[in-house]
Structure formats: C-alpha cells, structure tokens
Chains A and B, each alone.
Chain A
Amino acid sequence: MQIFEYNGSAVVAMVGKNCFAIASDRRLGVQLQTIATDFQRISKIHDRVFIGLSGLATDVQTLYQRLVFRHKLYQLREERDMKPDTFASLVSAILYEKRFGPYLCQPVIAGLGEDDKPFICTMDSIGAKELAKDFVVSGTASESLYGACEAMYKPDMEAEELFETISQALLSSVDRDCLSGWGGHVYVVTPTEIKERILKGRMD
C-alpha cells in the first residue's frame, strides 16, 4: 500500500496574465472507498496567496492549520501579509524540519507578488521547491495533469480563458485517475477579485 495514494488527490496551478488559477478535485477516499465528495484541498492564506495540498488528508489538514498559525503570527509582527515567495520558503522550512518523519503532502502554492506578478511553485514532501513559469501539478493524477496541461497551456491567458483551460485540464486528468475526481474546485485570482467556482464532472 502506497501512503501517498491512500486518500487520492489532484491539484494544479497555472499562471495567466496578471492572474493565476489554482484547482483541485473534491474526493476524499480511504483507498477504494469514497468517504467525502466535498473535501477542501485549497485554502486561502490571505487574499493574494493560496495553498493547495495533495497527499495524505490528515497531514493536509494539520499542515494547513500550522501554516495559518505561522502566517497570523507573521501578520501580528510585521503588520502586513506575507509575499508568496516568502510563504513558499516558510512552507519549505516547515517541511524540512520534519526531514526524517515528513508530512506526507505535496503543496502547490500560488499567489500574486509585487506588481501583481503571478507566482506559482510546488514542492515535494520534504520541502524541495520547484518554481515554474507556466504550471505546476501534484497528487495521484500528476502524470495525467502534466500531459493535459502541457498540451493545453499557453502563456498570458486572461482570467476567463485561464479558468476554461485549467478546468478542462483538471477534469480530463482526474477522469483517468480512479482515486481523484468527484468534481472540481477552481479559484481564479486577479488583483481585483477572487472567483471561486465548483466544477461538475464525472461523479465516479
């Protein structure tokens, strides 16, 4: 039994023109049984930084709680929100603290940095950061997501087109993965608004 495939997950983030999109599936399973069809994998840290966590669901929730705590502390001390690249370094450090007994999660971090420049990155379960200019993927459906995103992505897409692209990539990829699916959760973030949408896909 593979521990990373215990709950099933799919998370993807894409960069657009002064905006980004982050999407995940909604299934929570225990191996072959589906337990929930509305599991939240993507969480808002603040208005301009989102984190999506794939992997073992208990670690997803624990890690999220720890990160929210650390960010609130940062807000109190610095009297401002964290920049996405700073937040990514924080996540990386927290994961590496547990180098020999890691959190079994693969985070996907997406945010708007200075001058509304979109930032995305992913890391492995012990904090090795991978910055990308186009898209990042994570979860049991990651290989399918790589193929779909590579074929569908183009640079400098506007918010609406980015939403369509990331949704199509997510839905076609999770349809080829037994452990993820049951709809999708997409956040499209521009400097002025955050649009949250639920996708209806194959419910199986």
Chain B
Amino acid sequence: MTKQHANWSPYDNNGGTCVAIAGSDYCVIAADTRMSTGYSILTRDYSKIHKLADKAVLSSSGFQADVKALQKVLKSRHLVYQHQHNKQMSCPAMAQLLSNTLYFKRFFPYYAFNVLGGLDEQGKGCVFTYDAVGSYEKVGYSAQGSGSTLIMPFLDNQLKSPSPLLLPAQDAITPLSEPEAVDLVKTVFASATERDIYTGDKLEIMILKADGIRTEVMDLRKD
C-alpha cells in the first residue's frame, strides 16, 4: 500500500528569467515580463524586478504569489531597519536578510528563485544569487529562472568570473563597461527567448549607479 499523495499542489511556476551583472561602478538587473502558467500566458506585462532599497534591487522568477509575499516581508523589515538605524540598508545587508528570510521557511519554502543586485558600501556593483531556501553567494553575474540554463554558459564564456575558491580572493567584477553590459543582457535575452517558451514579450532592464536608477524596456518575441 503506497503512501497517498495530494493531487493539489500549493505551488505553481509562473516562468520567466532574471539576469544580473555587476560592474565596477554599476549593476545591471534584467528580467522578462512574461507571466505564464502551464502552457498559457497570464500576462505579457508583469514586472519581476522590485526595488527594495536605494542600492538593492531584487529580481525573482518562480511562483509570483510567493515572490509578492517575500517582497512584502522584506519591505516591512527594511522599514523597521530604517527606523532603528536612520539609514537605508546596504546591498550586502539586504543579501543576508533575504537569505535568513528564505531559510526561515525551510520546510515550506518560498518558490522563488532570486537574484539580488546593487551597489556595495564602496559603490562597486554586487550581485547575489540564491536558491529557494536561502543558500547564497556573491558573484559577478547570475541568471535564474526557466532560461537560466540557456544563459549561464554564455555569460561564463563572455565574463569569465574568477572562482570563489581562488586565493587570494579576487574581485567578482566584470571588466565590461555599462553600455557593453546592457548590450550583453539584450543579446542573452534574445537568444533565451528563441529557445525557452516561458521567456519573451518584453525585457525590462534596470541600471543602478551611484547617482540613481535608470530603466530601459526592449521588445522580445511574443511567440
């Protein structure tokens, strides 16, 4: 007699892909705007990028209901931090908070695949990549979501980030300039859109620099 399993799942996957690249004085965070369920498209115009603090921007793919709930928790925790410390949270601090928040629900996880991008205390770009239960790593670039397996090898090829195992520790910053990084992101999404059915419609790119945040939108294939 095999164990009975539920035929209802609390989770769903809304698809989509998120990418972030860290530069010497900028950070590029990008995500497509398609939200799907199964083989259907729910909307072509859903933003997966959310600003958590002046210097920390979160992009998440996966189950968007869990993503919304996660963003609510982080927003409220950030507000408390601002009241207690009289300043905004730095990106590395937000990175740790996100990890702790995810692990808090270790046994009923947020089905969210996160990439956190921003500027660190010295003004250099930083990207943190997560799994669903909060394991995280500071990297020079990352992709998460349905198109991540298609995108990561190409980013490896173009950016060749040093291994985190190297000693002495090397900076995980890409040598690319900001326009080059934005171009790379556009190329990578165009390729992913061709072969991944859950990625497409529009591409939203947020560029974080010391003087502020700039947003660009590019059309992708709608099929």
If A147-B147, A147-B191, A151-B187 touch, does A168 touch B152 (CB 8 Å cutoff)? no
Is B150 at the interface (CB under 8 A from chain A)? Answer: yes
If A143-B149, A176-B152 touch, does A148 touch B192 (CB 8 Å cutoff)? no
Is A146's CB under 8 angstroms from B195's CB?
Answer: yes
Closest A residue by C-beta to B147: A147
Closest A residue by C-beta to B160: A172
Is A144 at the interface (CB under 8 A from chain B)? Answer: yes
CA of A144 to CA of B191, assembled, Å: 12
- In B102-154, which residues have CB < 8 Å from any A CB? 147, 149-154
- In B1-47, which residues have CB < 8 Å from any A CB? none
- In B150-208, which residues have CB < 8 Å from any A CB? 150-154, 156-157, 187-188, 191-192, 194-195
Residues of A within 8 A of B191 (CB): 147, 150-151
CA of A58 to CA of B213, assembled, Å: 56
- In A145-192, which residues have CB < 8 Å from any B CB? 145-148, 150-152, 168-169, 171-173, 175-176
Closest B residue by C-beta to A143: B149
Is B157's CB under 8 angstroms from A147's CB?
Answer: no
Is A147's CB under 8 angstroms from B150's CB?
Answer: yes
Q: How far, in Å, is A172 (CB) from chain B's closest CB?
A: 4
Partner of B149, one of A150, A175, A176: A176
Closest A residue by C-beta to B192: A147
- In A116-135, which residues have CB < 8 Å from any B CB? none
Q: Give the size category of A's interface with B.
A: 10 to 19
If A150-B194, A151-B187, A151-B188 touch, does A144 touch B157 (CB 8 Å cutoff)? no
Is B156's CB under 8 angstroms from A175's CB?
Answer: yes
Residues of B within 8 A of A144 (CB): 149-150, 152-153
Closest A residue by C-beta to B193: A150
CA of A152 to CA of B188, assembled, Å: 10
Residues of A within 8 A of B194 (CB): 150
Q: How far, in Å, is B82 (CB) from chain A's closest CB?
A: 39
Q: Which of A147, A168, A175, A176 has its CB near the most chain B CB atoms (within 10 A)?
A: A147
CA of A171 to CA of B154, assembled, Å: 10
Residues of B within 8 A of A145 (CB): 153
Residues of B within 8 A of A171 (CB): 157
Q: Which of A151, A169, A171, A173 has its CB near the most chain B CB atoms (within 10 A)?
A: A151
If A146-B195, A147-B192, A147-B195 touch, does A152 touch B154 (CB 8 Å cutoff)? yes
Residues of A within 8 A of B192 (CB): 147, 150
Q: How far, in Å, is B55 (CB) from chain A's closest CB?
A: 30
CA of A163 to CA of B151, assembled, Å: 21
Is B156's CB under 8 angstroms from A176's CB?
Answer: yes
Known contacts A147-B152, A152-B154, then 10 further A-B pairs from the complex at CB < 8 Å, ordered by chain A residue: A147-B149, A148-B157, A151-B154, A151-B188, A151-B191, A172-B154, A173-B153, A175-B156, A176-B149, A176-B156
A–B pairs, 23, beta carbons within 8 Å:
A144-B152, A144-B153, A147-B147, A147-B149, A147-B152, A147-B153, A147-B191, A147-B195, A148-B154, A150-B150, A150-B191, A150-B192, A150-B195, A151-B154, A152-B154, A152-B157, A168-B157, A169-B153, A172-B153, A172-B154, A172-B156, A172-B157, A176-B156
B interface residue numbers (CB < 8 A to A): 147, 149-154, 156-157, 187-188, 191-192, 194-195
A interface residue numbers (CB < 8 A to B): 143-148, 150-152, 168-169, 171-173, 175-176
